[in-house]
Amino acid sequence: MKARVHVMLKNGVLDPQGEAVRHALGAMGFEGVNAVRQGKLIELDLAEGVTEADVTEMCEKLLANTVIESYRVELI
């Protein structure tokens, strides 16, 4: 089984990397991009018996900084 963990900065947290991407897109002539939020995708290849609760614990302890980031676990 695999799990995908989508990690994004929480609303209200400044995203300087996203802002740099938005600015660069504008400089390249791509108009109409009002905001960019950048995150990360972590894909885990899990052994049999690892549960969604285990992955959630991994997120809480290491994969996401829960003070400023939110995450979503997707089992695939």
Q: What is the pLDDT of residues 4-63, one digit of tens each?
A: 999 999 999 999 999 999 999 999 999 999 999 999 999 999 999 999 999 999 999 999
List, in order of start, the domains of the chain with CATH numbers. 2-75 (3.30.1280.10)
Distance CA 1, CA 54 (A): 13
- pTM of the shown model: 0.88
Tokens of 54: 């285990």
Count other Cβ atoms within 10 Å, centred on residue 5.
19
